[in-house]
Structure 1
Amino acid sequence: MNSLTPFPGTGGANEVVAFQRAELNIILSLYGRMVAAGEWRDYGISTLRDVAIFSVFRRTTEHPLYCIEKRPKLRSKQGEYAVIGMEGQILKRGHDLKTVLRVLERKLIRAVE
């Protein structure tokens, strides 16, 4: 399955990037653990033409703590997945989603200790 999915109702004219089911399962698994640890409370998903973004929040009225991005155009370069911090800094980028999300897993270990 392609990482570019036609936006509903457009007949494929305008394609947007979206997370696939397997990718969402990986992200939501981490999200559930972070919610259980009291670190995260809400999330939002954006599907745009060049990027899909999973944003996590401590409170819904704040800016996102982290954004998990998927940019298929960067697949052959530095990797299509990235974790972006609150200040806009790239915390980790790579080709494998699980590997990229490890930067957030370390924060979960610290939160539980």
Structure 2
Amino acid sequence: MLRTTSLHGRERSVTIAPAILIGLASLVAACGFGLGPRDSHEAAGVFPPWWSPARVIAAASAAGPVSAASRQPFVVVVRAPQGDVAARLRRAGAWLILDPGLARACGSLKET
């Protein structure tokens, strides 16, 4: 009986896997085509959620001065006069780069 339940769980995983993959692909496409920063001098970085707030701030600071932080400790906004903030946030470990306006709309940001 336990074996049957285990197989049922695997079958269910296989059934929903395509839907999950399509959803993730859609999210990646949307982020790549419309949610990215409009200004090369400012961007919001979404870091791994299990990172400590100190690690997120340290990584984001490597990309430039942190200008705002989200209520979620893994989302920060960096503004730097030299530009190319998005690429530097990616190199620092950010999973996703967003326009700061979108990050502000998703949750309250505290200016630093």
Normalising by structure 2, report the TM-score: 0.28
Q: Which has the higher contact order (CA 8 A, sep 6+)?
A: 2
Greater gyration radius: 2
The structure whose residues are more often strand, as a share, is: 1
Normalising by structure 1, report the TM-score: 0.28
